[in-house]
Amino acid sequence: MEKVCIYPGSFDPMTLGHLDIIQRACTLFDRVIVAVLHNPAKKGCFTVEERMEMIRAACAHLPQVEVAAFDGLLVDAVKKSGAHAVVRGLRAISDFESEKTMAQLNAELLPGMETLFMMTKPEHSHVSSSAVREIASFGGDFSRYVPACNVEKIRNHFE
Ligand code: COA
């Protein structure tokens, strides 16, 4: 049976930390669905289309990656996509509490749904999409934190 996982997030924009998790998930699953979802606590910066385009460009070398956008709850995206597991990255202990709550709520909403956590590589553990946006908005050099193919698109957005 084909093993499929879903890697959900805001990806606003995708960072090298996200890409590292996707690449590692590709070694464990036959198909990895990178799902752009809405986090109600966050105001978006890039459009969903722009985020998907940047993810597709950065994952062009990974044939088992599929990029999709979903509305509503993560559990509904899991049902719709037929994924067997949800993958999330953990950067630091501060991520743990909210990720644990989300994984438990999701498991109640969709019994049997598994969330797998992968430790973010140390070199990416201080990186975040909001840090990239902030540095870029003030004209700073954010290029070491995002896939090279997306640097220009992000820079143009803030110019
Ligand atoms: N390396 C570097 N940074 C990483 C990372 C990694 N491996 N993994 C995550 N991050 C950063 C991101 O850059 C982001 O930074 P930011 O807060 O500055 O934007 C932050 O960690 C987390 O973002 P991301 O992983 O992109 O997703 P999210 O936490 O914003 O998204 C959803 C969460 C979309 C999965 C969640 O809100 C959701 O499921 N929404 C749908 C509604 C729903 O079902 N809610 C749950 C009901 S219980």
- Rounded to an integer, the average pLDDT of 40-60 is 94
Q: Quote the pLDDT of residue 92.
A: 87
Instruction: Encode pLDDT of 61-118 as tens digits.
Output: 999 999 999 999 999 999 999 999 999 999 988 889 999 999 999 999 999 999 999 9
- Is residue 84 within 8 Å of residue 46, measured between CB atoms? no
- Rounded to an integer, the average pLDDT of 1-12 is 96
- Is residue 34 within 8 Å of residue 7, measured between CB atoms? yes
Atom 37, ligand 1: residue with shortest CA distance: 39
Mutate to test the pocket of ligand 1, among 12, 71, 129 (most ligand atoms within 8 A of CB): 129
What domains are there in the chain, each with its CATH number? 4-125 (3.40.50.620)
CA 74 to ligand 1 centroid distance, Å: 11
CA 128 to ligand 1 centroid distance, Å: 10
Please say if the pLDDT value at position 42 is more than 90: no
Q: Quote the pLDDT of residue 39.
A: 80
- Counting other chains too, the contacts that 150-157 makes at CB distance below 8 Å and 24 or more residues apart are 150/13, 150/14, 150/54, 150/57, 150/58, 153/50, 153/53, 153/54, 154/13, 154/54, 157/45, 157/46, 157/50
Instruction: Encode pLDDT of 115-149 as tens digits.
Output: 999 999 999 999 999 999 999 999 999 999 999 99
